[in-house]
Structure 1
């Protein structure tokens, strides 16, 4: 017979086996569930990898077909990768080379807009975006030569269109002083004309012819677009030449002009004769509007390392706000002897130099005209 003690031990063993069986079944069930989940996750991972490969393939084909060049630089500023368009621009051997050296070899220089220009005259625009790593960069370079040529054609077309519209007005502008000159010249043939009257008629004929010359000069400058050369111009020299050029006008009109001091050594790039014409037009405009005893100020204000304002101020009658939008239009003038092209020429010259012209005026207090131009550099003065 089994005693109580052995029976108790058997019962404990049976309970232990039952617990073991239950635990084994739970583990088996959990293992099966894990296997099912692992299979599901493996399937999802395979699908995700396939999607990634498809996206990578699409991006690769897109980069191959992209007309713009894509360049990846490493932390040493060396070209790590390029798409086919970049290779056609920079050359197959650019891979692994220093970016700055490649730029110097492929491109001749850059323009005021920061665009790169090749030895063949092609214009490329360069933009940059950071890559995933802080140590690398992604550059995008694209040919904008056609766009720039189109802009030039559109600008030229607009000027020609404006000239076509103003043809009738030009004929009228020319006819008036020409008729006056012919009238005075015809009177000088008279035998009964004394010396004083003859001199008077000569003076009036010359005034009419000078008016004609001014009109034709402004017309040619406007048609030309305001820029004929690309040279570095020291603003100190430009203002000094302006002071000499307007001296006669200032003296004849009993006016006063003050040249305010400014930071020396500022340099712009362009056509000095054209810029002189623009500044003389602004000074002459101030004298014509004020009449006798005009008070004029010339200032040079450096706005930043990139821009400078050349400002002509007067204390004249000012310009009504409704006229401010029209004064730069060709042949718009409120003066009987004005050609109507002076301010239009100023605007054309400013825009041809990559800048703009602005005006501020308060009726009864005066007017400010400004040429805002891009700075090239700052030369050190001794």
Structure 2
């Protein structure tokens, strides 16, 4: 019995020892867990404070952007993937009128835009304003942001400057024209005076009349050039078919080219393109450039006309000849009115060309090549006026066609 009691005492002591050991382990685990909870709580607090700071910073940034958007002089419109206006600034409301939020962009175009869009990316609004439009996708988010810039005052100022320049040029032209007319007119009068002789045989009469007609034709050519120069800043713009323009150029120049035993080579790879401009004015400009080359080179003239589509929807045209080239001392005066190196030249041909190209929002330049001269003309393609074109597509189909100019015209004609 004594042994059994001792054994039970040992077992009880062992149980207490085990309990104490487990209690110590639990205490250590609890302390470790408590420490871990404390660390996590601190990290969560830091993360929450950082998140709050970032949210506050984003809110401040959003407020600044909102203020900046309101202060922008340009109209800003944000479109969703369906082409509906979700945001706009006060400048957009001032340009297009309200309401805008929630309105389909297509409906706003029909309501606020003039049907006649005739100068590249410049657009007339029904309220008399003139704007340019640029758009950018929203990146990963479906939709677009549209920026409208009011250029009404800028356009009016440019028109006024052009008018003053033309008036100033016309003053110089009037004085120069009087001098240019005096010589051929005096010559014609001198020839006519020969017809007052008591006896003039038929051969002398015919020779005199030919000389008189030649001088009168020169005067007529000069007056026509001057009128064309004065009017060349105002044209009715249309979509000019490049293929038809080239056909008319060939038909008009073929007799002169054959007369001088020359060649006219035209690259027609872009004949299906369309230019925004005036067919007759562009035809006259091209004929003028080629005729100038023919008059300088004469027999054996070879004129090559090439085309290339370059960036930003522009058409680059080169007119190269095999003539003697352009004297480097006069190349800067080539497009100056009444500047000429030919005794029978009016000095208005290339000046008219320069004015026509500028009126088409293009540019023209002339340089010498290894043999001959090269005129480079850059013109906007007609589709650059379609700034209201397709903007939104889904994988299934076109969700919205932002009215093209021809669609706006159809809309206007139906009213």
TM range (shorter): 0.7 to 0.9
Aligned residues of 1:255 and 1:287 also touching (Cα < 8 A): no
Aligned residues of 1:70 and 1:140 also touching (Cα < 8 A): yes
Distance 1:310 1:194, change over 3 A: farther
Question: Aligned residue for 2:307?
Answer: 301
Question: Aligned residue for 1:106?
Answer: 112
Which of 150, 156, 163 does residue 143 from structure 1 map onto? 150
Does 1:194 pair with 2:201?
yes
Question: Aligned residue for 1:255?
Answer: 261
Looking at structure 1, the residues matched to 88 and 128 of structure 2 have their Cα atoms a distance apart, in angstroms, of 23
For residue 94 of structure 1, give the secondary structure of its aligned residue in structure 2: coil
What do the CA deviations read for 1:226-281 (whole angstroms, capped 9, x no partner)?
Answer: 44222332222222222332344345x53323243412323223222222221221
Looking at structure 1, the residues matched to 172 and 243 of structure 2 have their Cα atoms a distance apart, in angstroms, of 39
Aligned residues of 1:290 and 1:316 also touching (Cα < 8 A): yes
Question: Aligned residue for 2:77?
Answer: 71
Give structure 1 regions of 4+ aligned residues with deviation exceeding 6 angstroms.
35-55
Aligned residues of 1:286 and 1:294 also touching (Cα < 8 A): no
Question: Aligned residue for 2:28?
Answer: none
Question: Aligned residue for 1:242?
Answer: 249
| TM-score, normalised with respect to structure 2 | 0.72
| TM-score, normalised with respect to structure 1 | 0.78
Looking at structure 1, the residues matched to 141 and 52 of structure 2 have their Cα atoms a distance apart, in angstroms, of 31
Distance 1:225 1:207, change over 3 A: same
Looking at structure 2, the residues matched to 348 and 255 of structure 1 have their Cα atoms a distance apart, in angstroms, of 31
Looking at structure 2, the residues matched to 70 and 208 of structure 1 have their Cα atoms a distance apart, in angstroms, of 61
Question: Aligned residue for 1:204?
Answer: 211
Question: Aligned residue for 1:346?
Answer: 353
For residue 337 of structure 2, give the secondary structure of its aligned residue in structure 1: coil
Looking at structure 2, the residues matched to 257 and 226 of structure 1 have their Cα atoms a distance apart, in angstroms, of 32
Aligned residues of 2:233 and 2:356 also touching (Cα < 8 A): yes
How do 1:1-382 and structure 2 match up within 5 A? 59-107=65-113, 108=115, 110-129=117-136, 134-250=141-257, 253-263=259-269, 264-291=271-298, 293-304=299-310, 306-362=313-369, 365-376=371-382
Looking at structure 2, the residues matched to 266 and 59 of structure 1 have their Cα atoms a distance apart, in angstroms, of 42
Aligned residues of 1:227 and 1:270 also touching (Cα < 8 A): no
Looking at structure 2, the residues matched to 254 and 43 of structure 1 have their Cα atoms a distance apart, in angstroms, of 88
How large is the RMSD of aligned CA atoms in angstroms?
Answer: 3.9
Q: Alpha-carbon deviation of 1:342?
A: 0.8
Looking at structure 2, the residues matched to 332 and 38 of structure 1 have their Cα atoms a distance apart, in angstroms, of 82
Q: Mark the runs of 5 or more structure 1 residues left unpaired by the alignment.
A: 1-34
For residue 349 of structure 1, give the secondary structure of its aligned residue in structure 2: helix
Distance 1:58 1:321, change over 3 A: same
Looking at structure 1, the residues matched to 325 and 59 of structure 2 have their Cα atoms a distance apart, in angstroms, of 69
Looking at structure 2, the residues matched to 276 and 236 of structure 1 have their Cα atoms a distance apart, in angstroms, of 12
Q: Alpha-carbon deviation of 1:51?
A: 7.7
Aligned residues of 1:218 and 1:341 also touching (Cα < 8 A): yes
What do the CA deviations read for 1:82-124 (whole angstroms, capped 9, x no partner)?
Answer: 1222223334333123334433442235444323332455321
Distance 1:44 1:356, change over 3 A: closer
Distance 1:42 1:368, change over 3 A: closer
Looking at structure 2, the residues matched to 299 and 244 of structure 1 have their Cα atoms a distance apart, in angstroms, of 15
Distance 1:260 1:192, change over 3 A: same
Q: Alpha-carbon deviation of 1:42?
A: 10
For these two proteins, the number of residue pairs brought into alignment is 374
Q: Alpha-carbon deviation of 1:38?
A: 11
Q: Alpha-carbon deviation of 1:59?
A: 4.8
